[in-house]
Chains A and B, each alone.
Chain A
Amino acid sequence: MTGLYLAGAFSIGALLFFNRKRLINYLLVIAFLILQIGFTIYEYHHINTIELHYFSADALGILLLVTLSIISIPAMYHSYVFMSKSDDNPRHRGIYFAAMVVLLTAISGAYLANHIAVTWIFIELTTLSSSALIYHRRNNRSLEGTWKYVFVCAISITLVFIGILFLSFTLQQAGTDDLSFAVLIKKAPELNLFWLRLAFIFIFTGLTAKLGLVPMYTAGIDAKDKAPSPAGALLSSVLMNMGFVGIFRFYTVIANSPIHNWANHVILIAALLSIFVATVYMTKVKNIKRMFAYSSIEHMGIVMLGLVAGGIGYYAAILHIILHAFVKSSLFFQMGQIYRIYKSKSIYDAGNYFKYNLTGSIVVLLGFFSATAMPPSGLFISEFLIFRSLFEANYLSVLIIVMLLLTIIIWAFGKNIFKLLFSPAVDFKEDDIEKINPVESISQFILLGLVVYLGLNPPAEFVTLIQEAIKNLPL
């Protein structure tokens, strides 16, 4: 089925690339969505079966695949809205949807791959397809964003490859040449520590470009800013999850080896620096879209802290990454509407949003509460559990610093969001603003509702899957 899915999805992508007819484009997109959902359901019922040697849907893969399928439907819908509102160039539209389809397929492949080199190939594919999305507007700024993204990603992908090579050095010593994660976990205790340390440093650094942590987070920010908002929603949710999958699977290997503690320290430093960088930029950023992107950096830092702390933190980290994907994608979908009203992303040009788009501003308000982890939101639960695990693991000083930084982030986030919602904008002409159809906000309400539901009252199946996903980690 995986082979069928990959072949089908890539051929749909190719057809979209060559087809210029609007109707056929949309039919192909619908066909892809049906394929994606069908594949997800199939994999859910065939958990842990190995397909094509290199793919197996384990619990983590299933969880994130379902997340991806849920987000892909509104992403395609909002892309449709975006295309119908902007000046329509058939060629650009074809490339946009083709890139979208290839991106989603590559991310799904990376989720399910059980072999580190196969994961790497799919990560490479996501760079290619997301760069086409970032370049969609074809002006100076988007060119700059694309160039930076491609260059930084090319270097980080090379770093990951070097890490894999180091890993293969030590595997030979252990008497195997199989780079699948299952073998790696089994062999982990007997691997050479020098090579393993180097491998971890390189793979972790490389994957931070996709996950959005210090040191390689920079390119992702420009990418999310310059990509059209439905594409930005994918980049800041499911693509970041893909980086998490890569790091998490390799971290599981490391956790079974003697350097677990050392790796924790490395991750802790990266996570703290990420939260710090996010705080600094959140207080001074004036572009709403970039503010959302920095908020993603902060959340990824928190997720990594959960991994470092261990215990209940593992569970909370996976819960957090899933819920964050829903929250951040709905905020980005909403960003498209904000841009259509104000024709600008700057906080100085925006204001009084309640007056112009009531439903949209409710989404922004709820999204703000969710993203800053205020109680009804599910992120509150996961963040609370992560803090608890930090406390239990005796990382008290880390906890205090993180809480202080988070307070500043909430203040900065709130300042900008309330300016957008309530203060009138300077020099804003109300005459010819576009009336936004409330129907366009339904998907955001559903996603935000899902966050509350999964956080406060998680279904038993969901909890079992998360526990299954972290079963290889030592307590």
Chain B
Amino acid sequence: MTNVLLIIFTISLLYLGIAHRLLTYIKILVFQGLLLFGIAFIELIKIDALNLAFVLLETIVFKAFFIPLFLNYVMKKNRITRDAEPFLPNFVSLILITIIIIATFILSNAIADSRISKIYFVVAISTLFTGLYIIVTRHKIITHVMGYLVIENGVFILSIAVGNEMPMLVNLGILLDIFASVFLLGIFVNKIGDVLKDVDVEQLKNLKD
């Protein structure tokens, strides 16, 4: 069952590559949050109840509800236009993300470790690099934040892989997630919206040599 969820998660990455509108991005993030909830629930059912409740609460409330709501609010407040404005055409994005996934498959062949299932590794690493790819190739600051959230999802999957043995690491990952997202979104996008009228990376190119 987890394998199915993980594969659906990977497909959502491909969809992310061809999505046009920011609203679609937010919907994909909600969907990914729900998938992570399912994966965490099935995998971590053996850890103690309090920890499990914390993990599940984080995925369902924070990842799938609070963050998307907040992104939506930020978009409305700063009147960000709905287009994602990629630098590259969507077709190229699709091919590149496919290449990322295939490359992690090939890399995973090097794992000589029966205790870690390869699928976690493949999905997590391809999510990580897809997130980086989205940060690099999109125009708006808010898409940078979304790319970062995708990276966080990848980290979460990776931490579930060791979740049963080291629940502390899952909690640390959640700490990072909450800290960084609240910090990036809550303080910054608001400030940037107040100071800069048009939220575009072009506005942030003054500091250079």
- Chain B 104-133, CB-CB to A under 8 Å as 1, else 0, gives 000000111101100000000000100010
Q: Which residues of A contact B196 (CB under 8 A)?
A: 140, 143
- A158-B151, A161-B172 given. 4 additional CB < 8 A pairs? A140-B195, A147-B141, A170-B113, A192-B113
A-B contact pairs, 17 of them (CB 8 A): A139-B195, A140-B196, A141-B207, A144-B203, A150-B184, A151-B184, A155-B151, A158-B180, A161-B172, A162-B158, A165-B155, A165-B173, A169-B162, A177-B165, A192-B112, A285-B209, A287-B209
**Chain A nearest Cβ from B106, distance in angstroms:** 14
Q: Compute how far the CA of A144 lies from the CA of B192 in the bound complex, rounded to whole angstroms.
A: 9
Find out whether the CB atom of A161 lies under 8 angstroms from the CB atom of B173: yes
B interface residues, tally (CB under 8 Å): 41
Contact yes or no, B144 A151, CB < 8 A: yes
B9 is an interface residue with CB less than 8 A from chain A: no
> With a CB–CB cut-off of 8 A, which chain A residues contact B132?
155
Please encode chain B, from 61 to 99, with 1 for each CB lying within 8 Å of some chain A CB and 0 for all others.
000000000000000000000000000000000000000
A225 within 8 A of B: yes
Contact across chains for B176 and A161 when beta carbons are under 8 A apart? yes
A120 interfacial contact with B, CB 8 Å: yes
Q: Which of A108-153 contact B (CB under 8 A)?
A: 117, 120-121, 124, 128, 135, 139-141, 143-148, 150-151
Contact A281 B209 (CB under 8 A): yes
* A194–B209 touching, CB < 8 Å: no
**Do residues B162 and A150 form an inter-chain contact, with CB atoms below 8 A?**
no
Report whether A124 and B176 are in contact in the complex, using a CB–CB cutoff of 8 Å.
Answer: yes
A128 to chain B: which residues have CB within 8 Å?
A: 179, 183
Whole-angstrom CA separation of A172 from B161 in the bound complex: 12
B172 with A154: CB separation less than 8 A = no
Q: B152 contacts A158, CB within 8 Å?
A: yes
Known A-B contacts A128-B183, A158-B176, A194-B112; A290 and B209 likewise in contact (beta carbons under 8 Å):
yes
Q: Are A165 and B158 closer than 8 Å at their CB atoms?
A: yes
Chain A residue nearest to B209 in the complex (CB): A285
* Docked CA distance A219–B173 (Å): 23
Q: Which residues of B contact A120 (CB under 8 A)?
A: 172
B204 interface residue (CB < 8 Å to A)? yes
Contacts of B165 in A (CB 8 A): 168, 172, 177
In the complex, whether A448 has a CB less than 8 A from a CB of chain B is: no
Asked if A157 and B206 sit within 8 Å, CB to CB, the answer is no
* A287→B209 CA distance, assembly (Å): 8
Given A157-B176, A164-B169, A192-B112, are A144 and B155 also a contact pair (CB < 8 Å)?
Answer: no
A413 CB, min distance to chain B CBs, angstroms: 15
CB–CB B188/A147 < 8 A: yes
A153-191 with Cβ < 8 A to chain B: 154-155, 157-158, 161-162, 164-165, 168-170, 172-173, 177
CA of A164 to CA of B161, assembled, Å: 13
Complexed CA–CA distance, A225 and B159 (Å): 36
Q: Within 8 Å of chain A (Cβ to Cβ): is B37?
A: no
Q: Which residues of A contact B179 (CB under 8 A)?
A: 124, 128
Q: Is B166 interfacial (CB 8 A cutoff)? A: yes
Chain B, residue nearest A164 (CB): B169
Residues of A within 8 A of B168 (CB): 117
Does B46 belong to the interface (CB within 8 Å)?
no
Contact A151 B172 (CB under 8 A): no
Asked whether, in the complex, the Cβ of B183 is within 8 Å of the Cβ of A150, the reply is yes
- The distance in angstroms between the C-alpha atoms of A140 and B132, with both chains bound, is 26
Are A154 and B113 in contact, CB atoms less than 8 angstroms apart? no
Query: By the criterion CB–CB under 8 Å, are B207 and A144 in contact?
Result: yes
Knowing A155-B151, A162-B128, A162-B158 are in contact, say whether A148-B169 is a contact too (CB < 8 A): no
Give every chain B residue within 8 A of A158 (Cβ-Cβ). Answer: 148, 151-152, 155, 176, 180
Q: Is A93 an interface residue (CB 8 A)?
A: no
The docked-state distance in angstroms from the alpha carbon of A162 to that of B129 is 12
Task: Point out the residues of chain B lying under 8 angstroms from A161, CB to CB.
Answer: 155, 172-173, 176
Smallest Cβ distance from A122 to chain B, in angstroms?
12
A222 contacts chain B at the CB level, 8 A cutoff: yes
Residues of B within 8 A of A155 (CB): 132, 135, 148, 151
A165 touches B162 (CB 8 A): yes
Q: What residues of chain A lie closer than 8 Å to B116, measured between beta carbons?
A: 169
- B162 adjacent to A172 (CB under 8 Å): yes
Closest to B207 in A: A222
Distance, CA A128 to CA B116, complexed state (A)? 34
* Cα separation A283 to B148 with both chains bound (whole Å): 34
A200, chain B: closest CB distance, angstroms: 15
Is there contact, CB below 8 Å, between A144 and B169? no
Asked if A445 is at the interface (CB within 8 A of a chain B CB), the reply is no
Q: Which residues of B contact A154 (CB under 8 A)?
A: 148, 180, 183-184
**Alpha-carbon separation in the docked complex, A169 to B196 (Å):** 44
Q: Which 10 residue pairs of A and B lie closest in terms of their CB atoms, listed nearest first?
A: A154-B180, A144-B204, A222-B207, A285-B209, A165-B158, A168-B162, A177-B166, A169-B116, A143-B195, A281-B209
Q: Which residues of B contact A285 (CB under 8 A)?
A: 209
Name A384-401 residues within 8 Å CB distance of B. Answer: none
- A141: chain B residues at CB < 8 Å are 206-207
Smallest CB gap from B125: residue in A: A162
Q: Does A77 contact B (CB under 8 A)?
A: no
Among B112, B132, B159, B176, the one with the most A-chain Cβ atoms within 10 Å of its Cβ is B176
Please give the distance in Å from A204's CB to the nearest CB on chain B. 16
A355 at the interface (CB under 8 A from B): no
Would you list which residues of chain B between 164 and 209 have a CB under 8 Å from chain A?
165-166, 168-169, 172-173, 175-176, 179-180, 183-184, 188, 191-192, 195-196, 203-204, 206-207, 209
Q: Which residues of B contact A226 (CB under 8 A)?
A: 207
Partner of B166, one of A124, A151, A168, A286: A168
Q: Which of B151, B155, B158, B207 has the largest number of chain A CB atoms within 10 A?
A: B207
- A26 in contact (CB, < 8 A): no
B172 A150 Cβ-Cβ under 8 A: no
Which residues of A lie under 8 Å from residue B166 when comparing CB positions? 168, 172, 177
* Complex Cα spacing A173 to B196, Å: 51
0/1 per residue, B135-153, Cβ < 8 Å to A? 1000001001000100110
